[in-house]
Structure 1
Amino acid sequence: MRKIHINWKKLLVFIVSIFLLIQIAGSFFFYELAIKRGPKDFLQNNADLDVSDQTMDLFLNGEWIDWVNAQPFEELTLTARDGLTLSGYFLPAAEPTDKLVIFTHGYLGHAKQMGLYGQHYYTDLGYNLFMPDARGHGKSEGNYYGFGWPDRLDLMDWTQLLVDKLGPDTQIAYHGLSMGAATVLMASGEELPRQVKAIIADSPYASVYQLFSYQMNRMFYLPAFPLLDSTSLLTKIRAGYSFREANALKAVEKTTVPILYIHGESDTFVPTKLTKELFQHTASDAELLLVPNANHGESFALATEEYKRTMDDFLEQYIE
């Protein structure tokens, strides 16, 4: 009987090569899936994003939409630090004021969707409004989504532009939703202009790596390591940031700006526990509003009056 000789060295090289090819292919797949600018069909019919009929009606048919369309927004542009041209919309208050809110929208959204919240700031609180399109969204340039990390620097630059426009006595609130909430929290750990007085973060995540790890397991039943790490490396090469450095938790651990956290207790897309963790680790004054039965980004729709009242009371403490 002929003895079979196995070249273990060659076999090992073959296995490693196959493993590396799978990692590379998988990295490009997930980069295209989540990071590269474009339609994201994988989110269609995602049960974690289901909302109530009441919420959907507000999002699609609410009178705030007509209000936004009727406003004479001034379109502003900004050249980002990496050369991208970013776009945003400014609306001066009906009566002169030094109060300004800067909104940051969610993943795959656009600036004027934040008019859902902006109408209250403008009509009831008398604020100036500014709503920018995040890089890769709306009219802003960019071929990737930043998930808050490069966006934090864009937000800081928009802030300075608006302070220059409105004056040094401007008092600013940041109000972000989902990815936009992560953006304002990531910015909170930087040396923000002194005019930034308060932050409202609705449905944030603590870090991009943590969020993607959760979603990979929930959507694809895959462990984070090593595929998420190789996708992160590719993102660093192509988009300039890694998933681990995009960390809101580290930012709030050193922030000095007061933060109001808001999250739906039934959120399965960005788990509520992430906001609780952020709240517990925030170095500045912080408050937490949890809304029963609300899924991702649904809190305002299901608890409108409580949301407004909590937000108003919070802002009154820090913006005169």
Structure 2
Amino acid sequence: MGKVSPVSQSTMRLPADFSSRAWLLLPFAFAASMLLGYGVIGLVLWGCETCVSYFIFQPDRTLYAKPADFSFNVRDVGLPVTVPGDAGQSLHGWWVAAPAWDAKVVLYLHGNDGNVSTSMGEIAPLRELGYAVFMPDYRGYGESEGRFPSEKTVYEDAEAAWTYLVEQRGFRPAKLYIYGHSLGGAIAIELALHHPEAAGLIVESGFTSIREMAKLRKRYALLPMQLLSQRFDSIQKVSKLRLPVLYIHGTADEVVPYAMGEQLFRASGGRKRFIAIGGGLHNNNAAVGGPLLRAAIRDFIEESGASALTE
């Protein structure tokens, strides 16, 4: 009892060249483990990118109103997507006409959810002040064609809207203002960097970066945000702006902290203003701000427009 039989001993004996064979296999084993590791990391990053994409973008295909539903002049506008790979697709937007033919024009870029039909309340001050407004829907929103949006595609779509106004409609940049709300503010900042010839930029309820926004949400706080491709890093861009900027932020904003609006303002270069809407939430500054907001927008547009025409 306790002795190993000769048969057992023979089955446990290893070939004489086993060690040399094992050493030959080590590089392959190492490579396989590295590939597996990179595959796991890639899968994790892909999952993170997907989670963050749905955090950033919440597109809505349903239009809750039609241009004909309004008592003022609103019409649907289609314009082509010209970027490689997506050529042939079209964007849709709404053109809200102004009473005067020579009115200033505002390119309004809405936030991460809804579409143009849910943004009419936000543009009410612009319409009441007599400005013409063009609101495009990004690809994936409303009637605009295309797949789920990304940082790259929304920048391209904003550029397409600018090109439409300048090249097809013939508006001079000195009459054009770029206005962005929330995520649209980050898109507007990027567009303004490429078009400093615009008369001015308005950023409402803007955030500093997606990374900082994710830190405010427990479910995203532990994601490796520094490795993700979609950043909307406005705080790193605003110092390079070379046109007048008006920042608007509600003091009670429940989505983007009021402090982020202040940070963007402080980091901005050039001529800038900041208006705080007392008690304003993320989406109701137009209603809460009332005459104060309209006066701030009017003064900014008229003053920056006058300086743009004389430069």
TM-score (norm: length of structure 1)? 0.71
> Are 2:277 and 1:255 equivalent residues in the alignment?
no
Question: Which whole-Å CA distance do the structure 2 matches of 1:36 and 1:103 have between them?
Answer: 17
Cα displacement (A) at 1:118: 3.5
Query: In structure 2, which of residues 135, 157, 165 is the aligned counterpart of residue 162 of structure 1?
Result: 165
Cα displacement (A) at 1:172: 0.5
What is the aligned partner in structure 1 of residue 79 from structure 2? 77
Q: How many residues align?
A: 267
Alignment of 1:182-221 (within 5 A): 182-190=186-194, 192=195, 194=197, 196-215=198-217, 217=218, 220=219
Cα displacement (A) at 1:302: 1.5
Q: Report the residue type matching 1:76 in the other structure.
A: G
Residues 129 and 36 of structure 1: CA distance in aligned 2, closer, same or farther (over 3 Å): closer
> Are 2:92 and 1:87 equivalent residues in the alignment?
yes
Question: Which whole-Å CA distance do the structure 1 matches of 2:69 and 2:59 have between them?
Answer: 28
SS of the counterpart of 2:247? Answer: strand
Question: Which whole-Å CA distance do the structure 1 matches of 2:242 and 2:102 have between them?
Answer: 24
> Are 2:296 and 1:310 equivalent residues in the alignment?
yes
Residues 38 and 315 of structure 1: CA distance in aligned 2, closer, same or farther (over 3 Å): closer
Alignment of 1:110-259 (within 5 A): 110-122=115-127, 124-146=128-150, 150-167=153-170, 169=172, 171-190=175-194, 192=195, 194=197, 196-215=198-217, 217=218, 220=219, 222-225=221-224, 228-229=225-226, 232=228, 242-244=229-231, 246-259=232-245
Cα displacement (A) at 1:32: 6.4
Q: Which has the higher contact order (CA 8 A, sep 6+)?
A: 1
> Aligned Cα RMSD in Å?
3.3
Q: Report the residue type matching 1:118 in the other structure.
A: I
Q: Report the residue type matching 2:178 in the other structure.
A: Y
SS of the counterpart of 1:129? Answer: strand
- Indicate the structure (1 or 2) with the bigger Cα radius of gyration: 2
User: Can you give the 5+ residue segments of structure 2 that lack an aligned partner in the other structure?
Assistant: 1-28, 307-311
SS of the counterpart of 2:213? Answer: helix
Consecutive aligned runs of 4 or more in structure 1 exceeding 3 Å deviation: 15-22, 35-39, 65-70, 117-120
Cα displacement (A) at 1:29: 5.6
Question: Which whole-Å CA distance do the structure 2 matches of 1:177 and 1:161 have between them?
Answer: 20
Cα displacement (A) at 1:73: 0.8
Question: Which whole-Å CA distance do the structure 2 matches of 1:21 and 1:153 have between them?
Answer: 27
Cα displacement (A) at 1:289: 1.0
What is the aligned partner in structure 2 of residue 300 from structure 1? 286
Question: Which whole-Å CA distance do the structure 2 matches of 1:279 and 1:103 have between them?
Answer: 20
TM-score (norm: length of structure 2)? 0.73
Question: Which whole-Å CA distance do the structure 1 matches of 2:55 and 2:138 have between them?
Answer: 15
SS of the counterpart of 1:95? Answer: coil
Question: Which whole-Å CA distance do the structure 1 matches of 2:240 and 2:53 have between them?
Answer: 33
What is the aligned partner in structure 2 of residue 108 from structure 1? 113
SS of the counterpart of 2:112? Answer: coil
Cα displacement (A) at 1:70: 5.0
Cα displacement (A) at 1:286: 0.8
Query: In structure 2, which of residues 232, 250, 253 is the aligned counterpart of residue 267 of structure 1?
Result: 253
